[in-house]
Structure 1
Amino acid sequence: MCTRFIAFSIAIGASLAATPGRAETLNLLIWESYIDQKILDRWTDKTGIAVHQIFYDSSDARDEILSDPASNIDLAVVGETTADLFGKRGILEPLTESNAPSMKDYKPEWTSRCAGYAMPYLWGTMGIAYRSDMVKTTPASWSDLMSPAPELKKHVAMYDDHNEAFIAPLALLGKSINTNDSETLKAAFELMKKQAPFVLTYDYVITAIQNPEFRDNIYMAIAYSGDQHVLNDKAGTAGVWRYVVPKEGTLSWLDCMAVNAASPRKQLALQLLDFIGSPESAASNATALNMPTASDRALDLIAADMRSNREIYPPAEILAKSQYQTELSVQSIQTRRRIISAMANFQ
């Protein structure tokens, strides 16, 4: 993880170097393939201001970049716990309807989860993505991922993030995904050790699928809802990748878009955030990405067949069994990271 981040930081520094005579540019820190480029193009056409996307592939890498005062980031897509923590640390600009008028289109149950320091962006679940041409029986339980069938050996992709890596084992154990209890984490460790020989990679599946070494050998992966559409695009075969939420329940996540309080282009960043969060942009973005929006007014602009798609908008019974992420203790984070680092010993 450290090696990847050092290389990533160097790339960011090079990409954000000032160029004489270059027009104003805003720097957006975001997951890959996580915003419709047409929205950013419309913004540039309207304002003359370009948007440069910088990609991360884990929340740990994102948070380390955002913590760096020299990162030159203007906006970032963050998780709800990061919005709260980094907002309280003064890294993120407080948001209200005064500096981001589109906030009025989001219900308090959404905006409260972004803690007053970010705008709700997209939401969803975590589950199992699988190749329907290679996995003939639809996964139904986290045990299908944690105790895979023999033919899936070295065909599973997991994720080395200290939060998301524990979703599957903790949900399978019937425990809180936010546990700080060392005995519960040890039990999760035992499940992860048994699974490790089946794991091909611990890179985020969207990153891994672009690696020629892994591309054709990943048949099942832990994934966010919506990842299946990106995977299908990468595979060039519509519908081959599918997504399910296991019966035990899962993470219900919310991503928030925030403005870096130290941005020298803060007012422009706030204007871009408001543009992205407007009903028209939020609706077209959700439609293009096949993901659910948190904006009430945007939802009214989305086609009925998309709103009724259970893969995009999970049914109430799934959401009822889902958990939100909350801030973990320092000791819990350290224990989780040690466990993840140890997985290579059991592969």
Structure 2
Amino acid sequence: MKKTIAYLLTLFSSVTAADELKIYIWEDYISPQLVQRWEQKTGHKVTLTYFDNEESRDAVLGSDNAKAFDLTIMNTVAAQLFGKNNKLYGVSHSNLPSLKFIDPKWRDSCGNFGLPYLWGSLGILYKKNKVVPAPTSWADILKPEPKYHNKIVMLTDGVDTLAPALLYQHKNVNTEDQAELKDAFNTMRDQAEAVLSYEYVISYVEDKSVDQNVYMALGYSGDQSTLNELGGDEWGFVAPKEGSSIWIDCFSIMDFSPNKALALNFLEFINQPKNAAENSVEVGVATTNLEAQKLLPPELRDDESTYPSDDIMASSQLYRILSDDNMSLRGRIVNAVLKQHEAQ
């Protein structure tokens, strides 16, 4: 305990009032009140810059523009890739003592390239008053009833765009098998005529210049909370019965950041159990912090759209690093689906 206190005193004393912490993050993915309290406590300003898809984020972080940021959010696969390329600063129990609060099942998910932050699943977002009964299967969005045609929004992503088809066909979402990917392409191609857009649903709905008549969307647990905050009809989320892709997001420090001590200070603050619980409630996403889970209100802790049932978890899959050839093939498949959609 004395060593931890001494370390934290050193950490606090090594930052100056002039330092500003710049974070590259999904929109609505951290509690504004939590950020404000940290600013008030330390006297440092936080600037949030948003991305709305992982491809654009990775392009920025792979360029000189990455030097504009101290911290970023990325999934476990991206954290491993960027970390192995010496883009991320290493964290451990010695410089981030609050790692002890992370649930053991998630503790190693980011390696030493970030703090396991939030986790969740890929699934179907739906308007509760429009989609009755609620969806239960990937078939509900892949092979929708005619009344839902042109009211569906998907994603543009080399992994997640194809995941519903692979999960529906009981295949591995990380498959390298070309025949399985071809079958997934055929399913997604057939679905294209029913799709309104392949833009991330939150970005799409926020754009008031486009058709707002969206009933279902491919998205992530927690997205329903953001959509509900935007107003209008109430949204729900379901991880389909065939299983889901489970993601864990890492809060990572850029290796070239001049504010590493400040970034560690921030991560240590947000990962204190009380703060992590507050943040989880605010953003509506599952926390990796085991002690924080104990502080959650029952309506969140027992909500299967946030914490899936044991049966869904047993049939779900974690992401892993894919080969360059596989990612290239997936990119071509997704582009072909988009062209099919544009040609309609």
How many percent of aligned residue pairs carry the same amino acid?
36
Q: Identify which range, 267-276 or 190-199, moves more after superposition.
A: 267-276
Is residue 257 of structure 1 aligned with residue 251 of structure 2?
A: yes
Instruction: Note the residue ranges of structure 1 that are not aligned, 5 or more in a row.
Output: 1-21
Residue of structure 1 aligned with 2:51, choices 56, 78, 85: 56
Amino acid at match of 1:263: S
Distance, in Å, in 2 between the alignment partners of 1:314 and 1:64 is: 32
Retained in 2: the 8 A contact 1:125–1:245?
yes
Rate the CA distance shift 1:305–1:211 in 2: closer, same or farther, 3 A: closer
Residue of structure 2 aligned with 1:104, choices 100, 105, 122: 100
Partner of 1:313: 307
Distance, in Å, in 1 between the alignment partners of 2:300 and 2:210 is: 32
Is residue 297 of structure 1 aligned with residue 286 of structure 2?
A: no
- SS of the residue corresponding to residue 247 of structure 1 reads coil
Is residue 39 of structure 1 aligned with residue 34 of structure 2?
A: yes
Distance, in Å, in 2 between the alignment partners of 1:31 and 1:126 is: 16
Amino acid at match of 1:318: I
Q: Identify which range, 244-253 or 106-115, moves more after superposition.
A: 106-115
Q: TM-score, normalised by structure 1?
A: 0.90
Partner of 1:185: 181
Q: Deviations over 1:230-251 (max 9, x none)?
A: 11111245xx111111111011
Q: Deviations over 1:32-57 (max 9, x none)?
A: 11111001000100111111111111
The number of aligned residues is: 324
Distance, in Å, in 1 between the alignment partners of 2:111 and 2:255 is: 15
Partner of 2:13: none
Partner of 1:14: none
Distance, in Å, in 2 between the alignment partners of 1:337 and 1:235 is: 34
Instruction: Note the residue ranges of structure 2 that are not aligned, 5 or more in a row.
Output: 1-16
Q: Which segments of structure 1 move beyond 3 Å, counting only runs of 4 or more? A: none
Residue of structure 1 aligned with 2:109, choices 113, 116, 138: 113
Q: Deviations over 1:266-289 (max 9, x none)?
A: 111111111112212111100112
Distance, in Å, in 1 between the alignment partners of 2:101 and 2:218 is: 32
Retained in 2: the 8 A contact 1:258–1:273?
no
Amino acid at match of 2:236: R
Distance, in Å, in 1 between the alignment partners of 2:54 and 2:223 is: 16
Residue 253 of structure 1: CA displacement?
A: 1.1
- SS of the residue corresponding to residue 165 of structure 1 reads coil
Residue of structure 2 aligned with 1:29, choices 15, 19, 24: 24
Residue 215 of structure 1: CA displacement?
A: 5.2
Amino acid at match of 1:317: D
Distance, in Å, in 1 between the alignment partners of 2:209 and 2:338 is: 17
- SS of the residue corresponding to residue 285 of structure 2 reads coil
Rate the CA distance shift 1:102–1:69 in 2: closer, same or farther, 3 A: farther
Residue 23 of structure 1: CA displacement?
A: 4.6
Amino acid at match of 1:346: Q
- SS of the residue corresponding to residue 120 of structure 1 reads strand
**RMSD in angstroms over aligned alpha carbons?**
1.4
Residue of structure 2 aligned with 1:90, choices 86, 92, 103: 86
Is residue 159 of structure 1 aligned with residue 158 of structure 2?
A: no
Retained in 2: the 8 A contact 1:159–1:165?
yes
Retained in 2: the 8 A contact 1:69–1:262?
no
Distance, in Å, in 2 between the alignment partners of 1:70 and 1:232 is: 33
Residue of structure 1 aligned with 2:165, choices 164, 169, 179: 169
Is residue 278 of structure 1 aligned with residue 272 of structure 2?
A: yes
Residue 76 of structure 1: CA displacement?
A: 0.6
Residue of structure 2 aligned with 1:223, choices 190, 215, 219: 219
